[in-house]
Amino acid sequence: MDKVKFGIIGIGNISTFHAKSICELAQAELTAVCDINPEAFLRIDAAVRSKIKCFTDVETFLNEADIDAVIVSVPHYSHPDIAIAAMNAGKHIIVEKPIAVHKREAERLIAEAAKHPELVKSLMFNQRTIPAHKKIKQMIDNGELGTIRRINWIITDWFRSQIYYDSGDWRASWRGEGGGVLLNQCPHQLDLMQWFFGLPCKVRADVKLGKYHDIEVEDEVNAYLEYADGKTGNFIASTGEMPGTNRLEITAERGRLVFEDGKIEFIRNEIPTSEYCRHTDKKFGICDNWKCEVRFEDNGISAHQHRNVIENVVNVILHGGELIAPMEEGIRGLELGNAMLLSGLKHETVELPLDSAEYAACLDTLIATSRYHKKVVAANDSGDFTKSF
C-alpha cells in the first residue's frame, strides 16, 4: 500500500475540514463518505464530491466502500458503536473527540479495540500538535519547571450563542449530547491537563446548568483538583463569556510559566522556592529571577492541527511508528470531565478512578427526568468555526 484510502462518517461542521485535509496529503485519498442526511454531502467541495462515493447507511458504507481507514465524526453518543463497527469491518480509525460520552462507554470501546491489534486507532486530539502545547509538555517532562505546585487554567473563550445550541437536534441535551462545555468544547484542554500533569485523585467542582443559555447541560464549571503528589489545580470553563480568556498558569519550584495569547512566558527563580524559603534570612524577600519568553518553532503547524493528526495516522499505517494520540488515551480526559460534572451535580468531592457505573446511572437519571424541549433553528454559519478547535 502506498496510499491510505479514507472514508468519513458524519459530514458536519468539522468533516469539511477533514475532507480538505485528506485531499492535501500526498499519501492519503478520500474515496467515500457517509451521512444519514444526504444534504450533508453538499458540504463537500463539488470537485472532490464528483470523485467519491456517498453512502447514507453506515453498514453498507463499511461493507462496500473502497476504504482502509475511517474518520468517525458523528455526534458523541454514536462514537463507540460506529468505531466498533468500523474496526469489525477491518478499518483503521480516527475517532473525533470525545472518545465517548461517559467512561463506561469508553471502556467498552477500548475493550473492543484490544481485539484488533492489527489496526491503527487514534483520537482526534489535534491540540496535542500545537507547538506551544508540545513545548509546555517538553518543559514539564524534562524537569525545567521543577516540581509543580499549582495549576490554574481559565478557558472561557469558548463563547457560544443560543442559536449555536439550537442549530442541531443533538446539541445541549442530556439525551442528545450527554453534557455541555466539558463534553463538547473542553475535551481538548481536559486531555492536555492529563497529558501535562496526569490525573488528579480528587475533584470538587461547581457546575452551572444552563446559566447563560436556554440549555439543560453545563455552560459554566469551576473545578478544584487535588493530585496524589500534593499539587493542586483550578480548571474554569464557560461558554457564556465574551471576550473570554484562555490562560494556563503553572506555578512550580523553578518559577512560574504562563501560556496566554499564543505566548509562553517563564519567570525562572534563581533558587528553587522551597530551598529559598528554608534558607533565606530575609523576612519579606523573594529570590532573584529572570523573565524569558520561551521561543518555539511554529512554521504554520498550528493552522493544520487536524491534518497533522491525519498525517500521523497515515504514516503509522504505512510505515509504523508512534501515534500522537492513541485512541485509548481518550478515556483519561473524559474521566476527568465526568468527575467534574458528577461532583457538581452531587455537590461532593469525587475520587478518581471514577466509578463508571455510578456515572452512567447518574446520566440515565438526568435523561429520564429531563423536561427539556429542544427547538431546532437554522443558523447562519458565518463566524470563525476554527475557534471550536
Ligand X SMILES: NC(=O)c1ccc[n+]([C@@H]2O[C@H](COP(=O)([O-])OP(=O)(O)OC[C@H]3O[C@@H](n4cnc5c(N)ncnc54)[C@H](O)[C@@H]3O)[C@@H](O)[C@H]2O)c1
**AA identity, residue 340:** M
CB of 139 to ligand X, least distance (A): 25
Shorter beta-carbon distance to ligand X: residue 15 or 315: 15
In the complex, which residue's CB is closest to ligand X? Answer: 12
The neighbouring-strand residues paired with 205 are: 223
Q: Please, which of residues 210-269 interact with ligand X by CB under 6 A? A: none
Rounded CA gap, 132 and 264, in Å?
7
Shorter beta-carbon distance to ligand X: residue 99 or 248: 99
Shorter beta-carbon distance to ligand X: residue 175 or 202: 175
The only residue of 68, 96, 219, 329 in contact with ligand X, by rule CB under 6 A: 96
The neighbouring-strand residues paired with 151 are: 233, 250
The neighbouring-strand residues paired with 126 are: none
Binding mask 126-155 for ligand X (x = CB under 6 A): x-----------------------------
Beta-strand pair 148-155/232-238: parallel
User: Total residues contacting ligand X (rule CB under 6 A)?
Assistant: 26
Q: Does 76 bind ligand X (CB under 6 A)?
A: yes
Q: Does 273 bind ligand X (CB under 6 A)?
A: no
Please check whether residue 334 is in contact with residue 99, taking contact to mean a CB–CB distance below 8 angstroms.
yes
Q: Does 58 bind ligand X (CB under 6 A)?
A: yes
CB of 86 to ligand X, least distance (A): 11
Near ligand X by CB under 6 A, which window of 74-82, 138-146, 337-345, 360-368? 74-82
Closest-CA residue to 14 (of 261, 307, 245)? 307
Near ligand X by CB under 6 A, which window of 28-36, 135-143, 190-198, 372-380? 28-36
The only residue of 21, 31, 73, 189 in contact with ligand X, by rule CB under 6 A: 73
CB of 372 to ligand X, least distance (A): 18
Query: Which positions ≥6 away from 131 have C-beta within 8 Å?
Result: 296, 297, 298, 301, 302
Residue 333 backbone phi and psi in degrees, to 5: -65, -35
Please check whether residue 253 is in contact with residue 147, taking contact to mean a CB–CB distance below 8 angstroms.
yes
List % helix, strand, coil for the chain (3-state, nearest 5): 35, 25, 40
Near ligand X by CB under 6 A, which window of 72-80, 85-93, 241-249, 354-362? 72-80
Binding mask 36-55 for ligand X (x = CB under 6 A): xx--x---------------
Question: Is the C-alpha dihedral spanning 297, 303, 305, 310 positive or negative?
Answer: negative
Q: Please, which of residues 170-189 interact with ligand X by CB under 6 A? A: 184
Phi/psi-derived region of residue 387, left when phi > 0, alpha when psi is between -120 and 50, beta in every other case: alpha
The only residue of 7, 75, 180, 200 in contact with ligand X, by rule CB under 6 A: 75
**AA identity, residue 101:** V
Cell for 112?
Answer: 473492543
Query: Which positions ≥6 away from 298 have C-beta within 8 Å?
Result: 131, 132
DSSP class of residue 286 equals -
Near ligand X by CB under 6 A, which window of 31-39, 196-204, 257-265, 274-282? 31-39
Shorter beta-carbon distance to ligand X: residue 74 or 341: 74
**Rg, C-alpha atoms of the chain:** 22
Near ligand X by CB under 6 A, which window of 35-43, 195-203, 255-263, 279-287? 35-43
CB of 59 to ligand X, least distance (A): 10
The only residue of 4, 8, 9, 257 in contact with ligand X, by rule CB under 6 A: 9
Q: In what order do the strands lie in the sheet with 246-252?
A: 289-294, 263-269, 255-260, 246-252, 148-155, 232-238, 218-226, 202-209, 350-351
Q: Footprint of ligand X on this chain (CB under 6 A)?
A: 9-15, 34-37, 40, 58, 73-76, 78, 96-97, 124, 126, 168, 184, 388-389
